[in-house]
Amino acid sequence: MTLRHLKIFQEAARTGNFTHAARKLFLTQSAVSHAIGELEKEAGVLLFDRMSKSIQLTRAGELLLEEAAPLLAASEKLEKKLPHLEKETILHIVSSITIAVYYLPQIITSFKKVWPEAEVRVEVVSAAAAMESLKNGDADIALAEGVEPEEPYCGKVFASCGLRAVCAPTYHAAGRSLSVKEFCQENLLLREKGSAIRDVMDSALYLAGQQVHPVWTSVNSPALISAAKAGLGITVLPDLLTAEELEKGTLDEVKIEQLKLTNHMTAVWHKEKYFSAPLRTFLELVCKVKEGED
């Protein structure tokens, strides 16, 4: 028994005539009779009483029609939906915090103008957790900071942000230029190990033969800004997070000699990932961030 058998059976029951059913289904009368015969053979019972000029459902036929109707209705609904699956697809995006705050809302707003029926689900986590989510197959694309994709993943840098050392204007190092060694000896308020910001800084310091022992470690950048504003030490955070405080004068910059810190933001996906049309659009909009078009 197939859906084709059931569709023919339903139409025959509706029209009460094999010939009329054949005409409605663009089949020959013999094809309809053959399909009904196959269905009756499988059921082991007659489904229609054959009258001289019409057919009539038997009790068994009525029972089959009752059971088949929901299946055929669901099949018809699915057939109508099939050409529109991409428009209604769900995109799973995982993003690190800074990207989610400063870039992702505008990207999704632009995406919804192109694909209004597509649903975008976002999970905001640390950069390391974003990559883990991607590897577990929980996300289509990861937007993460400080990531260099390795096989079988590939990626594209869509934005970069400088990291800046800042402190309260009253802190003794405010406005000064420190050597890398002097910087490492200061009271440092830093992000946790494993975060993209900390990894960028630790890598640069390692190449300079130095390491840090922070007095504060936090997973929360605003907490570090508050500590720096209170004069507790120097924090290192993206320009995006410190620009407003620097403009207001509540923080001051500390120059670190021969140390340039840049945090790259990358869209990452599995190289064999199937890109639906909505997913392609989303990635295109992400990549336009670098061009200043989004």
Q: Is the dihedral of CA 73, 75, 78, 83 positive or negative?
A: negative
Which residue, among 249, 241, 240, 196, has the nearest Cα to 221 in the 3D structure? 241
pLDDT of residue 187: 97
Check residue 69 and give its pLDDT: 93
Task: Check pLDDT > 50 for residue 293.
Answer: no
Res. 22: pLDDT tops 90? yes
- Whether residues 143 and 278 share a domain: the answer is yes
What's the CATH number where 115 sits? 3.40.190.10
Are 172 and 147 within one domain?
no
Closest by alpha carbon to 163, among 143, 191, 130? 191
* Last residue within a domain, chosen from 49, 84, 119: 84
Of the pLDDT bands very low, low, confident and very high (cuts 50, 70, 90), residue 53 is confident
Contacts 24+ apart (CB under 8 A), 181-188: 181/210, 183/234, 183/254, 183/256, 183/259, 184/210, 184/211, 184/212, 184/213, 186/233, 186/234, 187/215, 187/232, 187/233, 187/234, 188/212, 188/213, 188/214, 188/215, 188/216, 188/233, 188/234, 188/235, 188/236
The rounded mean pLDDT for the chain is 91
Pick the last residue of a domain from 46, 61, 84. 84
Claim to verify: residue 153 and residue 287 sit in the same structural domain: yes
Residue 93 CA to residue 107 CA, distance in Å, equals 12
| 2-16, 30-44, 143-157, 174-188, range with the lowest pLDDT | 143-157
Domain end: 36, 56, 84, which one? 84
State mean pLDDT over 175-203: 93
Question: Are residues 174 and 258 part of one domain?
Answer: yes
Shared-domain flag, residues 166 and 151: no
Task: Identify whether residues 273 and 141 lie together within a single domain.
Answer: yes
Do residues 154 and 286 share a domain?
yes
**What's the pLDDT at 32?**
94
Q: Looking at residues 231-250, what average pLDDT do you find?
A: 95
Quick one: what percent of the chain has pLDDT higher than 90? 74
User: Domain residues for 269?
Assistant: 86-158+265-291
Same domain membership, residue 272 and residue 151? yes
What percent of the chain is modeled with pLDDT above 70? 98
Q: What is the mean pLDDT of residues 18-30?
A: 93
Phi, psi angle pair for 129, to nearest 5° = -70, -30
pLDDT the model gives residue 195: 85
Whether the predicted pLDDT of 115 surpasses 80: yes
In a shared domain, residues 71 and 215 = no
Q: Please report the pLDDT score of residue 291 as a whole number.
A: 47
Over the stretch 199-234, which tens digit does the pLDDT of each residue have?
A: 899 999 999 999 999 999 998 999 999 999 999 999
- Average pLDDT (109-116) is 94
Please give the average per-residue pLDDT across 152-157, as a whole number.
92
pLDDT band at 294 (very low <50, low <70, confident <90, very high): very low
Rounded average pLDDT over 182-200: 92
- Best CA proximity match to 189, nearest among 248, 230, 137, 156: 230
Q: How many residues comprise the chain?
A: 294
Domain count, the chain: 3
Nearest-10 Cα torsion for 200, 204, 210, 215: -30
Measured CA to CA, the distance from residue 143 to residue 294 in angstroms comes to 16
Q: pLDDT-derived band of residue 292, with 50, 70 and 90 as boundaries?
A: very low
pLDDT recorded at residue 290: 64
My answer on whether 8 and 27 are in the same domain is yes
Q: Is the pLDDT of residue 240 over 70?
A: yes
On whether both 65 and 130 belong to a single domain, the answer is no
Are residues 173 and 78 part of one domain? no
Res 51: pLDDT: 86
